[in-house]
Amino acid sequence: MDVRIGIIQTAKELDVELPADVGRDELLADIEGALASAEGILWLTDKRGRRVGVPSAKVAYIEVGAATDERRVGFGAP
């Protein structure tokens, strides 16, 4: 599952690829809990075991992608 996080005052995005066993509902609940407080930190662990932390006050938006590993490339990709 891919998670894309937009950071305030920067044009770059943070892309984190999570393990396949992460549940979408569980992930959304964790994100909402971390963003509930302005002093909180959103911690995610990618599929290689690296931990990524983003202060909730700096999060502009979060996109949670599909849980499939299918990557579409080329002109035929919707």
pLDDT tens digits for range 4-58: 999 999 888 999 999 988 888 999 999 999 999 888 899 999 999 999 999 999 9
Residue 69 has pLDDT above 60, yes or no: no
Is residue 70 one of the residues assigned to a domain?
A: no
Classify 24 as helix, strand or coil.
helix
Higher pLDDT residue, 74 or 36?
Answer: 36
Is residue 23 one of the residues assigned to a domain?
A: yes
Is residue 74 one of the residues assigned to a domain?
A: no
- Whether the pTM exceeds 0.85: the reply is no
DSSP percent split of the chain into helix, strand, coil, nearest 5: 20, 35, 45
Is residue 77 one of the residues assigned to a domain?
A: no
Q: Which helix (H) or strand (E) holds 26?
A: helix 24-35
Cβ atoms of 49 and 36 within 8 Å: the answer is no
